[in-house]
Structure 1
C-alpha cells in the first residue's frame, strides 16, 4: 500500500495595482466530506484521490497569516467555529504528530515548506509560528527565475514523497509578482495487517457504472476484518451496502471500503455520505471472518482546488479583498497579498503486501455461491477512506471507478 499527496497551497502573489492518548478528534471531517462531494460534482465519472488532512494543514498555514474576514471565512468553512480562536493550530499539530509517531510500523511523512521571495520582509512571528505548529522548512528563492524555482520546489516534493510525485509545478506558475509559496507533502506507506498472497491474484472483470467492463488483477484472501452491512433506510442507495475496514500493520491506520450492491451505481450511494455516517461506520463494524476480493490498482490525480474551495465558502483569500497582513513584515503591506494558485496532487497504490508483488500460479475459485462467510467482491466502483483509527483523522479519501492495473 502506497499513498501520498502534495498540496502547494498556496501560491501567494503580490497584487498588481488596479501519538498521545489525549490527541483530539479531527473536527474537519464535515469539511472533508463536503470537499469530496464538490470534487465529485466537478470531475464527472473519474476516479478521485485527495488528502483532506493535507488541505486542512495547508489552509492552517494560510490561516496563520490571515486576519479579519479572511481569517473568519477559513475558520467557518473548515469547521473551527466552535473552537477557541487559535486552538485549531494545536489540533492540527497533534493530529499530524499522531500520524507520524516513531513507534508506528507504517511510514507516514508530513512535510511543509515555505518559499519566500528574496529581499521581501515577513513578520517574524508568522515565521516562528509556522515552525512551531507545522515544522515548516523556510527558504528564500527568487521567483523571477521561474524555471529554476519550479525545478527546486519539484525536487523538494520528490525528496519528500520518495519520487512518486513529480513535476508538480511549472515555470508558468511563477512570475515577477510571486512573493510566497506554501507547499505541503503527505506520504504514507503501510503494510496490511493481513496481507494478500500474490499467488491468489487473478485477472478478473471489473464492471464500470457505465455498463462496460475492464480487466484487472483481483487479489483474494479470507481473513478477520472489521465488517458491517448498512442500510440508508430507503431505496435511494439500493438498500443494503457493505463496509469493510482493513487495518494496517500496527492497527492505528486502516483503509475503509464502502461497496454498494453489484447492480447499484456508486453515484446512487454517494449522496448519503456524511461526516456522521463515517463515524457510524467506524463504530459499528465488527471483527469477523470475511472473504475479500479487492483489485490491485493505482490512482493518481492532480486537482485544481481554487474553484472547489471557493464553492465551499473559502473565497476571500483568492481576491483583492484578502487580508493576509499577519504574514507581512512591518515594512510590507500584507493587504497586497492574495492566493494565486491552489492545487493538490495525490497518488494511491494498493497491492498484496504494501509493495510491488508479482502474481503467482496458484488457483482460487472466484464464485458467489456456497459462501460460508460474508463476501466483499469489489469488482465494481467503491468509495474509500484511509484514516487514523484513534483520532478519526482522514489522511486520504476517494473512489475507484476504473482501477488501473499495476503491472
Structure 2
C-alpha cells in the first residue's frame, strides 16, 4: 500500500499588537460543524490531563474536506457522517466550506483571516485531473510536484511554505522522517488570524496576579484589566455537576463579526467539572442569551502552542477507513492503493492587550472582589474559550487555559510591581 500523508496545520495568532484586516459576512451560510468541534474538544480533553488545549475545528474540517474530495465509498461516508455533512446532498459540503472560507477572508478594515492550502504530489505518479481541478476550485490549493524520496528537501520546502503562510509563527512542522519513498501526496492546510479587541485593554492597567490552577498550586501571571461593555450572562446546568452557576463573557473584535467567548466556572470549581456539559446546543444557547452590559474583566495574558496527532482522535470519532488498507481514495488516482498515514495539526494562540510588549505595570489597579458595581469576570483560574464568527457560528478556535503566561519572581516586570 502507498501512504498519503495529511498535515492539517493551523496557526491562530491573536495578536492585537498589530492592525488587522477583515471580512464581510453578510451572506455566509450557517456552519454545521459545531457538534464535530465539540466532540473533537472532548477527545483532546480526555487525553490532555492538566494541559492547555488549542486547536482549530474549521481547519480540521477543511483538511478533511480536501481528503473527502478524493474519497469514495465507506471512506467518503465516514467523513461526511463524522463532520456533520450527512444531512446535505452529496457534494454540497464543498461549496459550503468554500463559501465559509471565502467570505471570512474578504477584504475589510477590522481583522485578517487567511486560509491557505497546498498539495505536494510525487513526481511520476498520475493523479486524476478532475480531482486536481476540484481542489483548485473549492480550496484554491497550490499544487507542487516533489520527489518524496528526497525527504530532507521536501520537509524543508513544506516547512518554508508553512512559515510563509503563518507569519513565521509555525516553524519546523515536519522533518525528513515524515516522508519516504512510498509517500505519494501530502496535503497542508494553514489558517492565520489576527484581530484587535473592539474594547482594548490599556497596558498600564496590567499587573501581576496569582492564578490558581486546578491542582491547587498557584502561579504568577500578567493580568489585564478593563471595565467596558461586553456580552455577558450567568448560566446554570440545573445541578451541581458543573458547580452550579458559571459565567459566560463574549468579547468582540473590531467589526464585531468575530469574538472570543470565555466560559468561567466559580473560583472553587475545577474546569473539569464544567467541561462534561459542553455540547453544541449549549454553545448556541450561550451565544443567544448573553446580553450587552458593563462588565469588569480581569483576563490573563496567555500564549499556547500545541501540536496534535489527529489520527487517533479522528479514528475515535468514527473516521477509521481512510487510515487502513481498506481506504478508498480512488478519486485521487485510478487505483485504490492510497491510505492516510499522517494527520497533524499545529496551533498557536497569543492573547495580549494592544502594546503589551511595552507594558511596564504600574500596579495602579486594586484587584478586589468587594464593592463591585458591575458583573465581574475574574479569570484567575482555568477557563474554556472559543473564537467564533458571530454570524455563521463557525468556530475558528477552541481550547482551554489551565496555565497562563507565567511570570517568575526574578522577572524584571514582576520586580517592577
Question: For this structure pair, what is the TM-score category when the shorter chain's length is used for normalisation?
Answer: over 0.9
Output one character per residue of 1:250-303: Cα deviation in whole Å (capped at 9) or x when no partner: 111100000000000000000000000000000000000000000011000000
Q: Which residue of 2 aligns with 1:201?
A: 206
SS at match of 1:132: helix
Q: Which residue of 1 aligns with 2:276?
A: 271
Q: Which residue of 2 aligns with 1:392?
A: 393
Number of paired residues? 389
Considering only aligned residues, what root-mean-square deviation do their CA atoms show, in Å? Answer: 1.3
Could you tell me how far apart the structure 1 residues matched to 2:55 and 2:267 are?
25
> Quick check: 1:88 aligned with 2:89?
no
> Quick check: 1:130 aligned with 2:135?
yes
Q: Which residue of 2 aligns with 1:373?
A: 374
Q: 1:220 and 1:20, CA in 2 relative to 1: closer, same or farther beyond 3 A?
A: closer
> Quick check: 1:254 aligned with 2:259?
yes
Could you tell me how far apart the structure 1 residues matched to 2:102 and 2:382 are?
33
Q: 1:357 and 1:296, CA in 2 relative to 1: closer, same or farther beyond 3 A?
A: farther
Identify which of 22, 27, 30 aligns with 2:32. Answer: 27
> Quick check: 1:183 aligned with 2:212?
no
Please say if residues 225 and 299 of structure 2, whose CA atoms lie closer than 8 Å, have aligned partners that are also in contact. yes
TM-score, length basis structure 2:
0.91
Could you tell me how far apart the structure 1 residues matched to 2:364 and 2:237 are?
37
Q: What runs of 5+ residues in structure 2 fail to find an aligned partner?
A: 1-5, 10-23, 408-412
Please say if residues 9 and 181 of structure 1, whose CA atoms lie closer than 8 Å, have aligned partners that are also in contact. no
Could you tell me how far apart the structure 2 residues matched to 1:311 and 1:34 are?
10
SS at match of 1:205: strand
Q: Which residue of 1 aligns with 2:351?
A: 350
Could you tell me how far apart the structure 1 residues matched to 2:66 and 2:366 are?
51
Q: CA deviation at 1:97?
A: 1.4
> Quick check: 1:75 aligned with 2:80?
yes
> Quick check: 1:401 aligned with 2:406?
no
Q: What runs of 5+ residues in structure 1 fail to find an aligned partner?
A: 1-6, 11-18
Output one character per residue of 1:94-116: Cα deviation in whole Å (capped at 9) or x when no partner: 11112111025101111000110
Q: CA deviation at 1:36?
A: 0.3
When structure 1 is superposed on structure 2, of 32-41 and 104-113 the one drifting more is: 104-113
TM-score, length basis structure 1:
0.94
Q: CA deviation at 1:399?
A: 0.1
Q: CA deviation at 1:354?
A: 7.5
Output one character per residue of 1:290-335: Cα deviation in whole Å (capped at 9) or x when no partner: 000000110000000000000000000000000000001xxx41x1
Q: CA deviation at 1:404?
A: 2.2
